[in-house]
Amino acid sequence: MAADSTSNTIYNENSKLSIGRIVIYILLVLCALYYLAPLYVMLSTSVKTLDEIRSGNLLSFPVSPTGAAWSKAWSSSCTGVDCNGLEPFFLNSIKMAVPAVLISTFVGSLNGYVLAHWRFRGSEILFTALMVGCFIPFQVVILPMARLLGMVDLANTTPGLVFVHIVYGIAFTTLFFRNYYVTVPEELVKAARIDGAGFFMTYWKIIFPLSLPIFMVCFIWQFTQIWNDFLFGVVFGGSDAKPVTVALNNLVNTSTGVTEYNVNMAAAIIAALPTLVVYLLAGKYFVRGLTAGAVKG
């Protein structure tokens, strides 16, 4: 009897756990569907014709899918106010984002390494001053940055935009790397110094091999911030250096008398694809890198 009672108790507890787990899964699925609904609407609308969009509803499946809207959103051969292809501006964003991400991440890594393991008089003050840069709004730096770019002849150019994003991003990358590197045992760095390793040798042999998670965090963070930026692009980008976000805004707000929702949706997806791909490929490293420096020791 005692054994039967124990078995029933265990069975009831397992049943409760199973029911609770099922409820959690149902809630997670509902939340996923809720957040994926806008993406579905964008995808389905982008392959519909204008007549189908007007006669149907947002959630209906496309009757006769077509890629004409995607071609029109991407093609750079269109001229006039009714067509602004994203292709050249997409390439501008790549030319801007890749070097800005790489340089700001590498410089932030060196800064974090110095502030964590090569401390000097005033290093904490310097670190605090750098952290102030994380809280400065974009609008505050527009006028002084415009003046500086004009002085060095980088106004309205892609290298000028690269420079702007490097300067603005170094504060964030320094914060990330510094907080990560303080978790690296001091004994490793001291042992390298005793063995005769200098600043760069210690960094390359000891610190850099341990830095993959935080590098992924900074890559994803910086790429997302730079690719999605609109303000710096519209202010500092000339006619030949505008990023894809500015081109998307111009395309969506073009006054042609007819709102081409399918073209607008296709253009929005094209502009968002790089960040989506980056998160899909490296999202797990982002979470791992953020939590890696959470606890010292």
- At 76-116, the pLDDT tens digits run 654 444 446 788 899 999 999 999 999 999 999 999 998 88
Give the amino acid at 88.
P
Residue 297: pLDDT band by 50, 70, 90 thresholds? Answer: very low
| Ramachandran quadrant class, 133 (left: phi over 0; alpha: psi -120 to 50; beta: rest) | alpha
Instruction: State pLDDT tens for residues 241-288.
Output: 889 999 888 888 775 667 788 888 999 999 999 998 888 887 777 666
Answering whether pTM is above 0.85, one says no
- Angle of helix 158-181 versus helix 212-228 axis, rounded to 10: 150
Residue 120 pLDDT > 60: yes
CA 176 distance to own-chain centroid: 15
CA 52 distance to own-chain centroid: 34
Does residue 80 or residue 164 have the better pLDDT? 164
Residue 173: pLDDT band by 50, 70, 90 thresholds? Answer: very high
**Which class for 72: exposed (0-12), middle (13-18), buried (19 or more C-beta within 10 A)?**
buried
Residue 181 pLDDT > 80: yes
Q: What does the DSSP 8-state code read for residue 72? A: H
Closest CA to 226 of 98, 110, 103: 98
What is the average pLDDT across 209-219? 88
Question: Can you give the residue ranges of every domain in the chain?
Answer: 2-66, 87-292
- pLDDT given for residue 164 in this prediction: 92
Percent of the chain surpassing pLDDT 70 = 86
Pick the CATH number of 87-292 from 2.60.120.10, 3.30.830.10, 1.10.3720.10, 2.10.70.10: 1.10.3720.10
